[in-house]
Amino acid sequence: MTGTLHRLRALPLRTRLAMLVAVAVAVAVAAVAAACWFVTRVQLEQQMDASLHSSKVDKSYLSNLYNYCQGTSPLPPRPFTGYTVQLIDSQGTVCIAPKASALQVSPADIAVAEGTQRDALHSTKNADGERMRVYTYALPVSGGTTGSIAVSIARPMSEINDPLSTLAWVLLAVSGIGVGGAGAAGLWVARTGLRPVDELTEAVEHVARTEDLTVRIPVEGEDEIARLSRSFNSMTASLASSRDRQAQLIADAGHELRTPLTSLRTNVELLARSDDTGRAIPPDDRRALMNSVKAQMTELASLIGDLQELARPDAANPGPLQVVALHDIADTALERARLRGPELTIRADLTPWYVRAEPAALERAVVNVLDNAVKFSPPHGTIEVALRNGELTVRDHGPGIPAEELPHVFERFWRSPSARQLPGSGLGLSIVARTVQQSGGEVTLRPAAEGDGTEASIRLPGAPQPPPGL
């Protein structure tokens, strides 16, 4: 059985579908043919039995037959057309016309002859071995001198079996033609129905061979095949878009890495040339070079960290979210912001709010927003942070962002022309947007309502309940 299933699975799908249709039709046709054959048989048997019941033999014929069997009449009676007729006495003695094949006597026939049973209907064989249908009934004998006699009337079962045999062959031929036609029709339907699947297969093989993600399959109708085609087109479009974004990310990363690496290389070459030539660099210039090297190294480390954050395997599918206290995360981020801008005044008004998020990612997002505010705040400026009803706002008093640049602030590696000289990778706000969206929230950047500066807003839905222990 296992080997048969394995061989069936090895067949093409259209062949299996055609075989399935043929088998289903064969089972249905066989069931209908068998039912037709059995119903016809029952009907023919009932008709024969009714004919035997209604065919009462003429008494004069029976009298002549009886007298012939007793030897009192030298002439046999004329044949009884279409039937075999024999007489049976209570001893089981048979009286039958000459050249007729005697019927086997059953106990039911003797019981009828004895008068203990009214009649009997059964099948038996004659002396030639032919199957016969027999109806036996009692025949009173006048004068009572000869006792009671039973009359058996029989017809050959071939009158039923021959038509049934012919019907069976006809049904078999019709069933064979039907199954063959069903198989051919199933194969045609399978080929027609699976043509879109063949097109899909060719498209997939083409993509695998050429990596051409611009291939699209024509979609016709609203059936499952059309749905599969639409899904394939959506998949290739998504893959193409992902590949384009990947290529853009690599290009942007290379561009952003080139600037600090070029500056770092220049500074290192100056230091190396000074050592090679023996011409010492003035202490102030050397100190400035070293500070520049440290700054470039810090910028490179920050850029690489942001790239690793974007390239994490679980970046697109984060792990299970946890219920965390947004106010505690914001408070921790504020401490780091105060260390980075000790000359700045940071005012905070945080009310408790619990959200479902990935703690480390959410903390990095809040830190990035605060770092952005610290970076663009003027010396001795003020940063105002508030958390009310699930909305965390961070407002600085810096130069602000022009309205035409606001739609681009969350794009990867995008940096305002006015901020190109400031440290940063251009990935911070992109990481913020992705983290907030994964937590079901939204982040916006807008000009401050009053005065100069920018206000960042992070809105996150509240958790159903605070975590245990809080």
Taking residue 427's Cβ as centre, other Cβ atoms within 10 Å add up to: 25
Comparing 110-119, 162-171, 274-283, 401-410, the range with the smallest average pLDDT is: 401-410
Pick from 14-23, 105-114, 194-203, 307-316 the range whose average pLDDT is largest: 105-114
Torsion of CA 28, 33, 39, 42, to 10 degrees: -140
Comparing 66-75, 136-145, 177-186, 277-286, the range with the smallest average pLDDT is: 136-145
Asked if residue 461 has pLDDT above 60, the reply is yes
Instruction: State CA 41 to chain mean position distance.
Output: 48
pLDDT, tens digit, 9 for 90 and up, residues 443-457: 888 888 777 788 888
Predicted local confidence at residue 39, as pLDDT? 92
Asked if residue 400 has pLDDT above 50, the reply is yes
Predicted local confidence at residue 324, as pLDDT? 87
Higher pLDDT residue, 344 or 306?
344
Question: Mean of the pLDDT values across residues 398-414?
Answer: 71
Looking at beta carbons, which pairs linking 119-122 to residues 24 or more positions away fall under 8 Å?
A: 121/49, 121/52, 121/53
Confidence tier at 21 by pLDDT (50, 70, 90):
confident
Question: Mean of the pLDDT values across residues 377-400?
Answer: 87
Which one, of 366, 377, 375, 354, lies nearest residue 456 by Cα? 366
In the chain, the N- to C-terminal Cα span, in Å, equals: 62
Confidence tier at 146 by pLDDT (50, 70, 90):
very low
Q: Please give the Cα distance from 170 to 29 (Å, whole number).
A: 13
Q: Please give the Cα distance from 470 to 456 (Å, whole number).
A: 28
Tokens of 341: 């801008």
Question: Coil, strand or helix: which one is 59?
Answer: helix
Question: Mean of the pLDDT values across residues 285-298?
Answer: 76
Tokens of 206: 């083409």
pLDDT, tens digit, 9 for 90 and up, residues 83-112: 888 888 888 888 888 778 888 999 998 998
Tokens of 443: 């982040």
The answer to whether the beta carbons of residues 355 and 323 sit under 8 Å apart is yes
Predicted local confidence at residue 255, as pLDDT? 58
Helix (H) or strand (E) holding 442: strand 442-447
Question: Coil, strand or helix: which one is 380?
Answer: coil
Q: Please give the Cα distance from 415 to 129 (Å, whole number).
A: 109
Q: Please give the Cα distance from 93 to 83 (Å, whole number).
A: 20
Question: Mean of the pLDDT values across residues 187-193?
Answer: 73
Question: Mean of the pLDDT values across residues 285-303?
Answer: 73
Helix (H) or strand (E) holding 137: strand 131-139
Helix (H) or strand (E) holding 430: helix 428-438
Predicted local confidence at residue 467, as pLDDT? 53
Torsion of CA 337, 338, 339, 343, to 10 degrees: 120
Higher pLDDT residue, 216 or 468?
216
Q: Give the β-pairing of 382-388 and 345-350.
A: parallel
Mean of the per-residue pLDDT values for the chain?
78
Domains along the chain with CATH numbers: 68-157 (3.30.450), 224-311 (1.10.287.130), 322-459 (3.30.565.10)
pLDDT, tens digit, 9 for 90 and up, residues 412-446: 655 555 554 455 555 667 778 888 888 888 888 88
Q: How far is CA 249 from CA 256, 301, 414, 421, in A?
A: 10, 17, 11, 21
Question: Mean of the pLDDT values across residues 309-337?
Answer: 73
Question: Coil, strand or helix: which one is 282?
Answer: coil
Which one, of 111, 158, 103, 112, lies nearest residue 134 by Cα? 103
Question: Coil, strand or helix: which one is 355?
Answer: strand
Confidence tier at 143 by pLDDT (50, 70, 90):
very low
Question: Mean of the pLDDT values across residues 224-239?
Answer: 79
Asked if residue 314 has pLDDT above 50, the reply is no
Q: What phi and psi values does residue 344 have, to the nearest 5 degrees?
A: -90, 155
Higher pLDDT residue, 289 or 154?
154
For 173-189, b/e burial (b = at least 16 CB within 10 A) is eebeebbeebbeebbee
Question: Mean of the pLDDT values across residues 391-406?
Answer: 81
Q: Please give the Cα distance from 245 to 266 (Å, whole number).
A: 31
Number of Cα atoms under 13 Å in the Cβ half of residue 277: 9
Question: Mean of the pLDDT values across residues 28-52?
Answer: 89
What is the DSSP code (8-state) at residue 424? -
What is the DSSP code (8-state) at residue 149? E
Predicted local confidence at residue 6, as pLDDT? 57
Q: Please give the Cα distance from 132 to 78 (Å, whole number).
A: 21
Question: Coil, strand or helix: which one is 469?
Answer: coil
Q: Please give the Cα distance from 63 to 139 (Å, whole number).
A: 10
